[in-house]
Amino acid sequence: MSLSINPRANTLTVPGIRQFSNQLVNFPNAINLTIGQPDFPTPVAVKEAGIRAIEQNLTGYSHNAGLLELREAVNTFFSNKYGFSYDPQNEIVITNGASEAIDSIFRTILEEGDEVILPAPIYSGYVPVIELCGAKVVYLDTTETGFQPSAKNLERLITEKTKAILFNNPSNPTGVIIQKDTMDELVQMLKEKEVFILTDEIYSENTFSGEHHSFAAYKELQHKLFYIHGVSKSHSMTGWRVGFLMGPATIMKQVMLVHAYNSICASLPAQHAAIEALTNSKDTPSEMNVEYVKRRDYVYNRLVGMGFSVEKPNGAFYIFPSIKAFGMNSFDFATKLLQEGGVAVVPGSTFTPYGEGYIRISYAYSMEVLKEGLNRVEKFIQTIQK
Ligand SMILES: Cc1ncc(COP(=O)(O)O)c(C=O)c1O
């Protein structure tokens, strides 16, 4: 007998993003540019659909895979927009946010000793789940290739142990979108490999110029590809907790059980709200994008004007400037910026060791907040450059 806990759970730490935003209580006048959620309210019609569901006592469990009507709406939305289709009956599971989709697919496919390749820097939500499964993360460095995952470099990392490769496109934290020709090269190479492809495209609706291309649209990958999405970012519904996972029926059968034993189903009123989001309110994201583009341009121009080296982001609502010129690591830079400059940003090292030397700024904030935040950043860097 023992009261010790799973050592893998013991290694978990508070996410870096939260470490910084949690510190903010000690700096009540600081400008917070850390959080990755839209600052818009959930669209009125979506809220009303959720309220209606509650009033009509639609508050019980749904089918484990989620309401069929929502699965059908998911398929219609993605097939109309991106030209790929999944069978609502047996290839789509509605999850508690994209987070639970990530958890369910990894727990279904991973075994002890497997390797998962992540292009890095990347969102910090994948590594803990992979490691809790007893698998190992292998990073593909994208810092020398404009944050694009190079097919050649990726191929070198694939071994007998590789079980899966995960892409996040558009990217949190860089805001970069995988270029179509790069994606074509990746698919050409990956179609020959016996590895699962996971694609987290939760920011697809936050694409600011050009089209979003999805890995799911490549037929040659469909038998081994899992598509992760949700309404959190597209419809400003982070607290409603509705995500989607799509993939081949043979494996989705087991994914559905992993999901069912975890949480039975996603919240029913929230599923009703998500139906509204993907049908009558399907154009809300492009309305939000008008605002994001203005903010993106403003923040990018200000950072370039201050002398930061930075890729212009084309999606999501993050920007990832280099701070290498300041001779400090990203944690120290962010700490100093908060304590002395009054602005909270996320140290790049939160997004794997390959994010070291950068900071992530979220521009899911009003123009007024962004202006004040960037004025403070400008003042701060002048003091540390002296
Ligand atoms: C890339 C990425 N995937 C998944 C998630 C989690 O989404 P959800 O709130 O739907 O669980 C986030 C949240 O920030 C994210 O940035």
The residue out of 278, 299, 330 marking a domain boundary is 278
pLDDT at position 25, please?
87
Which ligand 1 atom sits nearest the alpha carbon of residue 316? 16
What's the residue count for the chain?
386
CB-based contacts of 80-88 (< 8 A; 24+ apart in sequence): 82/204, 82/212, 82/213, 82/214, 82/216, 82/217, 83/217, 84/214, 84/216, 84/217, 84/222, 84/227, 86/227, 86/246, 86/247, 87/249
Q: Are residues 17 and 146 in the same domain?
A: no
Distance 253 CA to ligand 1 centre (A): 23
Distance 235 CA to ligand 1 centre (A): 13
Best residue for ligand 1 mutational test, from 94, 105, 198, 202 (most atoms within 8 Å of Cβ):
202
Q: Are residues 147 and 192 in the same domain?
A: yes
Output the domain CATH number for residue 300. 3.90.1150.10
Quick check: CB of 202 below 6 Å from ligand 1? yes
Residue-level pLDDT at 14 = 83
Instruction: Kindly state whether residue 29 falls inside one of the protein's structural domains.
Output: yes
**Is the CB of 123 within 6 Å of ligand 1?**
yes
Containing domain of residue 370, as a range? Answer: 7-42+284-385
Each of the 386 residues of the chain gets a pLDDT tens digit; together they read 889 999 999 989 888 777 777 888 899 999 999 988 999 999 999 999 999 999 999 999 999 999 999 999 999 999 999 999 999 999 999 999 999 999 999 999 999 999 999 999 999 999 999 999 999 999 999 999 999 999 999 999 999 999 999 999 999 999 999 999 999 999 999 999 999 999 999 999 999 987 899 999 999 999 999 999 999 999 999 999 999 999 999 999 999 999 999 999 999 999 999 999 999 999 999 999 999 999 999 999 999 999 999 999 999 999 999 999 999 999 999 999 999 999 999 999 999 999 999 999 999 999 999 999 999 999 999 998 75
186 and 330 part of one domain? no
- Domain membership of residue 2 (yes or no) is no
Count of domains observed in the chain: 2
Same-domain check for residues 185 and 55: yes
C-beta of 164 in contact with ligand 1 (< 6 A): no
Q: Check if 238 has its Cβ closer than 6 Å to any atom of ligand 1.
A: yes
Question: Do strands 92-95 and 243-246 pair parallel, antiparallel, or not at all (unpaired)?
Answer: antiparallel
Contact predicate 231/238, CB 8 Å: no
pLDDT at residue 24, rounded to an integer: 83
Per-residue pLDDT at 62? 98
- Is the residue at 181 inside a domain? yes
| Residues 319 and 184 placed together within one structural domain of the fold | no
Q: Do residues 256 and 302 both lie within one domain?
A: no
Assess whether the C-beta atom of 121 lies below 6 angstroms from ligand 1.
no
**Domain match, 34 and 24 both:** yes
Helix (H) or strand (E) holding 333: helix 330-336
Q: Which two tokens stand for residue 264?
A: 């039975």
Same-domain status, 163 and 218: yes
Q: Which residue has the tokens 């639609």?
A: 58
**117, part of any domain:** yes
For residue 386, the model assigns a pLDDT of 54
pLDDT at 154: 98
